[in-house]
Every structure is written in structure tokens, then in C-alpha cells.
Amino acid sequence: MNTKLISKYFGGLALASILLAACGGAATPAPAGGPVQSVGTGEGEVSIVAWAGYIERGETDPNYDWVTQFEKDSGCKVTVKTAATSDEMVALMNEGGFDLVTASGDASNRLISGGKMQEINTSLIPSWSKVDPRLQDAPWHTVGGKHYGTPYQWGANVLMYNADVFGNTPPDSWNVVFEETTLPDGESNTGRVQAYDGPIYVADAALYLKAHNPELGIKDPYALTRDQFNASLDLLRQQRALVGRYWHDAFIQMDDFTNEGVAASSSWPFQVNFLQFSGVPVASVVPSEGATGWADTTMMAIDSKHPNCAYKWMEWSLNPKLQGDLAAWFGSVPAVLDACTGNELLTDAGCDTNGLGSFDKISFWKTPTTDCGDGRMECVPYHEWVTNYIAVIGGR
């Protein structure tokens, strides 16, 4: 992996604060304090907090550029701040100074409840009707019947593995990253696996236990009773002895798979696609236990300084060409199903390859709260996920 490319995409990533703070009113609201009622001339710029690989302008590969034409058409210059975790996205939006964020479900509801996002007027987004109906009223961006963003892309947290290590017997279970085992190349997995450096990864352990320890009674990996949560932590402590690195930087993970002998890890389709394109022998699966995943929403800050450019970008982000190109680049599934046909980069098989039919099999990220979803208010809230996962990583 080109280290200049890595440094180009990522600076130093600090530990993110997750404290929430309410903020002031939105620009040009309706008289009753509702969403923006009209879109005018762009203000000349728009700033976006985004996942790696989500906002491309052709610098890595000229075939993948959905920024340049937008800037020409709208007069809005796009600047991007890459975030590696949902907690970092929440911290950046709390600090302010950004117009939009491509938030996953474990960040979006925190931002909404904290008063950081403004309601979106979907009538000002002509392409809204083209959004996959499964996403239009999704709970990670729809609260009290109000929409707080436009769906962008979705996908699974896949199990990426070294094809040379696994040969003709690819893994079919997450046990290769959670349990000490001998891999098909005859060597132990100890020190050769990675885990995601984010508290939401507790859900991955819970999903594994849901399949292998049914007596725990886990139904929702994000709504865990104290006993279920503690069992998940015990599994993560067991995994700690196997993990060579806890990853959050996509490009550093790719470097590890290229140069450091990593055999298997949870990952995003983006890394799989990029490494395969670079000739690195990796592949990926959604194992038998299923997978956690993400459905991302482009959300607008309550105090956006460039609301016209922000609305123009949200509309632009839903055009089928961008949606298809991004899906091909990231390995994700488009929010606009029209993107699944006629895109040269994605191909007509691309959506199925990227998991279009797996929507109901994915446990999408969401913020854990005390509300168990069944009337009980005894589930472990997210702030405890944070403190306990930090302890696990630290060997406690």
C-alpha cells in the first residue's frame, strides 16, 4: 500500500468525544421553526464529514469522480473531513463548522436527539421519490414522522480474509476472529486477526453469541440485558488475546493485510474492493451467523452556514450515476434502486453482488439505549458500551 496515499487521506485521529449538546436554529426556516422552505443560489461551498471513500473527486482513480461535475453545476466547492468511526463523526458535528455528515445509525439518532441535525424538507429534494422504499422512513433518520436526512448507501460489515491462507476452504463463521483456532494454512490465528476499534463492535460479539449461545436469549444485538452484555464482554476479552490490531483506519487495515500477514478481520466492502483492485489476495463473506451493517444518511447540521449548497448536494447525492459509481467503488448497495442497472462501473450484477438481497439479514447499527424495545427499560446504554470496550482493548 502506498503510504503517501494513506497520509493523503488521513491525518492523526484523536479519541472522539461523544458528549452531545443542543444548538441554535437553522438557516431560513419556515415561520413555525420547521425545515427550510426553498432553495436559493448556492453560497459557494459545502463541507461534509464522511466515511473514507464516500466523497470521491477522481484523485485516486479518475473513473470515480462525483464531485467535479457537482462543483461545476452548482458553484459549490466541496470540502471533506474524513472520519473513521461514528463516535468521531458525532464529536466533529458537536464541534460545529460542518454542513453535512454521512452518518450511520449509531450516530444519526444521537445527533438528532442532541439537537445537532435539522429536519429535511423532502419536497425540496426532487429525487426523494426514487429512494428505496425500505429506506425512506427508516428509524435511523426518521423521528416523530420528521426526516433528518437523505439515505446514501448501505451494506454489511463483512469478514475479510486472506485467500492464500484459507485456500479452497473460505471461512463460514466469525469463529476465526473470536475463538483460538488453527487456520487452513496450519498456523494459529493468534496475532493474525483484527477487530473494529469502536464500541459498536460489542454488537458483533452479541450477534455471534446469539447464534452459538441461544440460552442467553439475545434477540437484538443492540438491546442487551446486563447478563447478555457481560457475556459479550467476556467473548471480547477472549478475543483480545488473538487480536494483532484494533482497526479504525481503513487504509492502515489495507496496509496490514498487504504487508503484515493479517489473516482475517471484520471489514467494509471498501477495503475488499480496493485490495482486490490492487492485486492483494483477499476475499470476503457474510458468515453463517449473519453480520452487523450500516445504512448511512446524509444529514444537515442545525447551524449549517451553507444550507442552499447542502440541499443541492443532497439532491445530487441521489442521482443514479453517483449512486452506482459509489456502490462500485465502496462495495455498498445504492439507496436509489435505479442505480442498479445501466452503470458501467457497477454492472447490472453489482447490486446483487454487493448484497441487495441481504437487507433483512443485516443487523444495522443503531445507538444502544436503556429501552429494550419490548417495554423493558433495563438494557445497557451506549455510554457503558464505550467505557467497557475501552477497558477490553486496554486488557481489562
pLDDT tens-digit profile, the chain (396 residues): 333 333 333 333 333 333 333 233 334 555 456 899 999 999 999 999 999 999 999 999 999 999 999 999 999 999 999 999 999 999 999 999 999 999 999 999 999 999 999 999 999 999 999 999 999 999 999 999 999 999 999 999 999 999 999 998 999 999 999 999 999 999 999 999 999 999 999 999 999 999 999 999 999 999 999 999 999 999 999 999 999 999 999 999 999 999 999 999 999 999 999 999 999 999 999 999 999 999 999 999 999 999 999 999 999 999 999 999 999 999 999 999 999 999 999 999 999 999 999 898 899 999 999 999 899 999 999 999 999 999 999 998
Write down the architecture of domain 158-267+366-393 according to CATH.
3-Layer(aba) Sandwich (3.40)
| Three-state secondary structure of 153-185 | EEEECEEEEEHHHHCCCCCCCCHHHHCCCECCC
Domain 15-155+294-358 CATH class label: alpha beta
Which residue, among 122, 166, 114, has the nearest Cα to 148 in the 3D structure?
122
Please list the residue range(s) of the chain that carry CATH number 3.40.190.10.
15-155+294-358, 158-267+366-393
Q: What gap in Å lies between CA 153 and CA 150, rounded to an integer?
A: 10
Q: Quick one: which H or E segment has residue 25?
A: none
Q: Which string of b and e fits 147-175 if b means at least 16 CB within 10 Å?
A: bbbbbbbbbbbbbbbbeebbeeeebebbb
Task: Estimate to the nearest angstrom the gap between the alpha carbon of 356 and the chain centroid.
Answer: 16
All three cell numbers of 282: 483477499
Whole-prediction pTM: 0.86
- Looking up cell 455498498 gives 332
Tell me the CA end-to-end span of the chain in Å, nearest whole number: 33
